[in-house]
Amino acid sequence: MRTLKLAAVLILHFFLLSKINAQPQQNDSIKLDYTRIYSFALDGNPKLALPLLEIDPTKKIAQKDFKFKTDFENRFKFEEDKSDFLETRKSKIDALLKIYRDYWRLSFLNKEMKNDTLIMKNVSDFLKTNFPPAQNLTVNEDSINVYQKKYISSLGYHTTGFGKTGSLYDLLVWKTEKDTVYKLNYDGKETPVKVYFMDDFITLGWSEYATLGRYYPAGWATKEALFCVKKAYDLKSETFRVSYIGHEGRHFADYKLFPNLKGVGSADLEYRGKLTELSLYSEDGLSKRLQFFINNGNYDSENGHSIAAYCVIRDLSRYLFHSDYEKDLDKWKSISSEKINEAAAKILEENTKSLQKIPNVEKFIKQ
């Protein structure tokens, strides 16, 4: 993932200010809590992040942070989206993307409302009006999926189709892709798998919208192949080998091992993918990934990633610390990366054995 850079110009600003006043000045600058802001946004709750952007007007704020505050509030604070989200991604699917944008925003800001019926109706009406082959479309997920794919393909684009990421229907559309073959090792077997590298995205879905582009799906697996958002990874990095190939390779294998496994927003599949990551990372990457899971874990979420992150930290905490949920990263760092790798692998192995005992298992970590 990309990282946010601190505005170094603030250091010079404070130095000059102290010289002008000939007295030491207190550092009264505002620092936004990006960790909590992004955590709320990734959980589909950007509304809860708005109070974190309320600042004392007498205090200073870095230009970068002020721009983020303005952009985030323009997107989520007012009755309508005042941001440039649509204007910055002009394409042949503008009207369809607007339907999804409005649905995502409505779902974020009105969590008590269930808008599945609304998005299905709006997308169906749009396809029937703008895509003649869709005249016979039936308003259900499978039918919408077929005709939405055909419509987007007819415009020269690629898409995942009509389906959910977590609790929300998503829209991912890209212009170009190239494929290659990787040999994946899992469960003691080597399997050649086709990997599609995707580029030139029009939209990366609701998480990209909720986080102002900071986070988005970096890849996914189907029963036939893996798909990778090319800009998300240095292909020579450990992050690519572990968080992409390792994680998505686990999904690829699990689709065959446990074909009915889905849980709440695929929480069980994500749990197994995240444990796979923690069984493979070296020390530096392991600490960063643990911190991300700690920050974003939420057992009560409707987002499978958040549920899985919570359950991974919960189960590793019980195994390593004999506590329910250890948040202190320094305590994690006091344990060798090899021991954490082994613990994650052991918990994954135990999870596999438990799932194999349940015929046609659909969910396990959250009943």
Contact 241, 228 (CB under 8 A): no
Q: How many CA atoms lie within 13 A of 91 on its CB side?
A: 20
d(CA 170, CA 160): 9
d(CA 356, CA 146): 33
| pLDDT value of residue 9 | 28
Contact 280, 246 (CB under 8 A): yes
| pLDDT value of residue 187 | 67
Query: By C-alpha distance, which of 151, 105, 106 is closest to 125?
Result: 151
Reading the chain (367 residues) residue by residue, the pLDDT tens digits are 333 332 332 222 323 333 333 333 445 678 899 999 999 999 999 999 999 999 888 889 999 999 999 999 999 999 999 999 999 999 999 999 999 999 999 999 998 888 999 999 999 999 999 999 999 899 999 999 999 999 999 999 999 999 999 889 999 999 999 999 998 887 677 889 999 999 999 999 999 999 999 999 999 999 999 999 999 999 999 999 999 999 999 999 999 999 999 855 689 999 999 999 999 999 989 999 999 999 999 999 988 999 999 999 999 999 999 999 999 999 999 999 999 999 999 999 999 999 999 999 999 998 7
| pLDDT value of residue 191 | 86
Contact 140, 169 (CB under 8 A): no
| pLDDT value of residue 2 | 34
Rg (alpha carbons) of the chain, rounded to whole number: 22
| pLDDT value of residue 15 | 30
| pLDDT value of residue 57 | 85
Laid out side by side, the sheet with 172-186 consists of: 158-159, 172-186, 189-204, 226-229, 219-221
Contact 11, 77 (CB under 8 A): no
